[in-house]
Amino acid sequence: MSVAGIFAARLLDADPEADPPWLATEYVEGPSLRAVVESGGPLPVDRLVPPTTQLCGALGSIHAAGLVHRDLTPANVLLSPTGAPGDRLRVARTSTSTRGPRAAR
């Protein structure tokens, strides 16, 4: 199970057959989108466009790998304070990410 994309957290290991199923992804330093909005309110448009574009790229990579995230929430969108401005968002995968049809639903 591999997602090739700079905006999706890299999968390190997983056991989908375990009880409960689990996975481990790379550590992403920085707050979640949820924490940013809760502490500072809604993002202004000029700060919202880059992460929205990056989020679309992350979902494209996830779907291209034949996976469906199923738990995409602001808590699973991580904003790294490091890196170039266009390389700061990462989508965390959860145990609810599943293989699914390649077509969007």
The reported pTM is 0.70
Q: How far apart are CA 42 and CA 51, in angstroms?
A: 13
The CATH number that domain 11-99 falls under is 1.10.510.10
19 assigned to active site: no
SS3 of the chain: helix, strand, coil, percent, to 5: 30, 20, 50
pLDDT band at 35 (very low <50, low <70, confident <90, very high): very high
Enter the tokens of residue 15.
């056991």
The answer on pLDDT for 26 being more than 70 is yes
CA distances from 52 to 15, 43, 79, 103 (A): 31, 11, 11, 21
Catalytic residue of the set 15, 46, 71, 87:
71
Domain residue ranges in the chain: 11-99
pLDDT (tens digit per residue) in 43-66:
888 888 888 888 898 888 888 888
Query: How far from chain centre, in Å, is Cα 33?
Result: 11
Q: How confident is the model at residue 102 (pLDDT cuts 50, 70, 90)?
A: very low
